[in-house]
């Protein structure tokens, strides 16, 4: 298949915010592409395997862009509704962000965003996964003046529960995390602490002890660990 230009111009996929285009596929085989342009999150659909793309839909528009702008993840449920969780600056400083949930209902369109936590704080790198009963699982970075942590949230029957801290680390670290769900609805999370990468498994609603994946230090260099995780058809 030849390279297809979904959208062209300047200011797209803003690098300072760490935002990239993300793709999902619904039960009908349609491909959806979501991406950030300036202060807005857009969505486009392809019904022919990516050969052509429909006109952009505006999912949401905020007040900030770049490193203060929309940082999101996306997933689709069993009814082909699209769920987005994103963080964006909403306060007087870059440390005052909000974490939002946004739904595109199949056949209807984008709804109004909801504030998941109702509190401004330093949130980054939200990642989501949806299980077989359409519960949403979310991990994100949470920071304060004194410390930072990887946290987990679950949305059941349309209601977000309280946050669970999966790991804590110094406030100067900004490592990311990722999450996925296997065919048995076990939850798998991976995250960075210092130069180390860790894994945690949740079965039956109980988080197991963290497991060390490895030390990714390289000499005197330090960097932000950008973690990703997925499972195959055998849930491995």
Report the pLDDT value the prediction gives residue 4, as an integer from 0 to 100.
Answer: 59
- pLDDT higher than threshold 50 for residue 2: yes
Tokens of 177: 């995390």
* Average pLDDT of span 2-26: 63
Q: Which of 17-31, 45-59, 60-74 bottoms out in mean pLDDT, i.e. has the lowest?
A: 17-31
Helix (H) or strand (E) holding 58, with range, is: strand 57-61
CA 34, distance to chain mean position in Å, is 12
Q: Are 34 and 58 in contact (CB under 8 A)?
A: no
Residues 173-221 have pLDDT tens digits of: 667 899 999 999 999 999 988 778 899 999 999 999 999 998 876 655 5
187 to 21, 173, 181, 182, 196: CA distances (angstroms): 24, 24, 5, 7, 20
- pLDDT higher than threshold 50 for residue 12: no
The CA distance from 153 to 168, in Å, is: 16
Supply φ then ψ for residue 204, to 5 degrees. 60, 30
- pLDDT higher than threshold 50 for residue 17: no
Residues 61-73 have pLDDT tens digits of: 999 988 899 999 9
Helix (H) or strand (E) holding 114, with range, is: strand 114-115
pLDDT band of residue 15 (cuts 50, 70, 90) is very low
Residues 216-229 have pLDDT tens digits of: 766 555 556 678 88
pLDDT, mean over the chain: 88
The CA distance from 202 to 61, in Å, is: 35
Residue partners of 81: CB distance under 8 A and separation at least 6: 103, 104, 105, 106
Q: Are 60 and 42 in contact (CB under 8 A)?
A: no
* Average pLDDT of span 72-95: 95
Tell how many helices (H) and how many strands (E) occur in the chain.
0, 19
Q: Which of 4-18, 27-41, 65-79, 87-101 bottoms out in mean pLDDT, i.e. has the lowest?
A: 4-18
The CA distance from 165 to 200, in Å, is: 12
């Amino acid at each position: 298949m030849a390279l297809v230009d979904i959208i062209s111009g300047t200011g797209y996929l803003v690098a300072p915010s760490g935002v990239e285009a993300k793709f999902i596929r619904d039960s009908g085989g349609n491909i959806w592409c979501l991406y950030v342009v300036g202060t807005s999150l857009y969505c486009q659909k392809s019904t022919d395997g990516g050969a052509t793309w429909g006109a952009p839909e505006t999912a949401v528009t905020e007040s900030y862009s770049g490193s203060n702008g929309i940082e999101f993840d996306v997933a689709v449920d069993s009814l082909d509704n699209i769920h987005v969780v994103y963080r964006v600056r909403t306060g007087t400083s870059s440390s005052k962000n909000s974490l939002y949930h946004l739904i595109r209902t199949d056949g209807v369109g984008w709804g109004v965003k909801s504030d998941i936590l109702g509190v401004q704080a330093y949130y980054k790198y939200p990642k989501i996964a949806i299980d077989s009963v359409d519960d949403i699982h979310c991990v994100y970075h949470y920071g304060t003046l004194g410390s930072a942590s990887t946290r987990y949230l679950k949305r059941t029957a349309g209601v977000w529960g309280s946050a669970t801290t999966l790991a804590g680390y110094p406030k100067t670290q900004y490592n990311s995390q990722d999450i996925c769900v296997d065919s048995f609805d076990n939850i798998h999370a991976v995250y960075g602490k210092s130069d180390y990468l860790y894994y945690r498994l949740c079965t039956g609603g109980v988080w197991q002890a963290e497991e060390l994946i490895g030390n990714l230090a390289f000499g005197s260099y330090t960097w932000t660990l950008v973690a990703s995780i997925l499972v195959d058809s055998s849930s491995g």
